[in-house]
């Protein structure tokens, strides 16, 4: 694939989130709120609504443009929970956050269409689907019907087995072509607000992840915002011989590389540090 820097078309710079316009002319932060007992980094920390509201308030004060609510663990080896269990986790969370902070833009991190639909009806604005419609064939038509932004990610295999020796002949080409085909499918259904995510850590080795990060600029050819989720992932702490709890500095380092290669949304656990990274990147870009 050729270097796209001189040929990339002007990309989409805003998303319509239920009448709230999300400006993507500069990079934004998406704060992660996991309401699960077993997420790889913060599992069990936000099971009580009071803890959720404390975390949400801090993220919003620190500058998060989006809060991403997830009730399904997608870490390697994770078992899938039913939509019913997922709903008991995410719907009260969405309602509580919007009652306290009514202007908040929320995304629902799910691959179940029924969870997505009820979450949007409860006030969420965005569907963030790590399976890009692969896990539920009703998801893409639903996103079109609801007229909400749809975030699509590449992953290879199911969460339970995706890290069992993943192989690619050319990881950049395969991920690019997968997302391009998904974009065309989504557009054929009438979805206009799309965000693409190469899926760091989802069915990829450390080498695959760093190769994708190095060539992230190629994905700008699609003319769509790129979401990057590197926060405290194993590609960082395994490379450094540390742990997820010790991976904040590494996350910031890789987020800066992602921004320089075209990322528009950083999905993170640590909003303040990500906002500082963006602030410094904007100074660098405008120098």
Cα–Cα distance between 89 and 69 in angstroms, integer?
9
Report the b/e string of 8-39 with b at 16+ CB within 10 A.
beebbeebebeeeebebeebbbbbbbbbbeeb
Intra-chain end-to-end CA distance of the chain, in Å: 30
Q: Is 233 known to be catalytic?
A: yes
* DSSP string for residues in 74-137: -STTPPPPPHHHHHHHHHHHHHHHHHHSTT--EEEE-S-HHHHHHHHHTT--EEEETTTTSS-T
Q: Is 267 known to be catalytic?
A: yes
Active-site option among 75, 87, 89, 233? 233
Active-site option among 117, 156, 215, 267? 267
Which tokens belong to 165?
């020796």
Active site residues: 233, 267
């Amino acid at each position: 694939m050729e270097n796209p820097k001189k040929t990339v078309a002007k990309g989409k710079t805003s998303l319509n989130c239920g009448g709230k316009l999300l400006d993507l002319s500069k990079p934004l932060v998406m704060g992660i709120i996991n309401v699960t007992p077993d997420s790889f980094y913060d599992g069990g920390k936000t099971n009580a609504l009071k803890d959720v509201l404390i975390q949400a308030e801090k993220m919003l004060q620190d500058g998060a443009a989006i809060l991403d609510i997830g009730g399904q663990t997608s870490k390697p080896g994770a078992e899938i929970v039913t939509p019913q269990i997922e709903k008991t986790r995410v719907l009260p969370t969405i309602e509580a956050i919007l009652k306290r902070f009514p202007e908040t833009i929320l995304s629902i991190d799910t691959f179940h269409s029924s969870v997505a639909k009820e979450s949007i009806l409860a006030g969420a604005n965005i569907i963030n689907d790590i399976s890009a419609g692969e896990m539920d064939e009703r998801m893409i038509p639903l996103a079109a019907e609801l007229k909400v932004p749809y975030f699509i990610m590449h992953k290879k295999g199911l969460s339970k087995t995706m890290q069992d020796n993943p192989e690619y002949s050319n990881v950049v080409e395969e991920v690019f072509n997968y997302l391009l085909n998904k974009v065309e499918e989504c557009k054929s259904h009438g979805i206009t607000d799309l965000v693409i995510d190469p899926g760091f850590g989802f069915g990829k080795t450390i080498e695959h992840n760093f190769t994708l990060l190095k060539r992230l600029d190629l994905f700008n050819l699609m003319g769509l915002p790129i979401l990057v989720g590197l926060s405290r992932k194993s590609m960082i702490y395994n490379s450094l011989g540390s742990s997820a709890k010790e991976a904040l500095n590494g996350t910031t380092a890789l987020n800066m590389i992602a921004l320089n290669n075209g990322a528009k949304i950083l999905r993170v656990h640590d909003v303040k540090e990500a906002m500082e990274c963006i602030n410094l990147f904007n100074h660098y870009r405008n120098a």
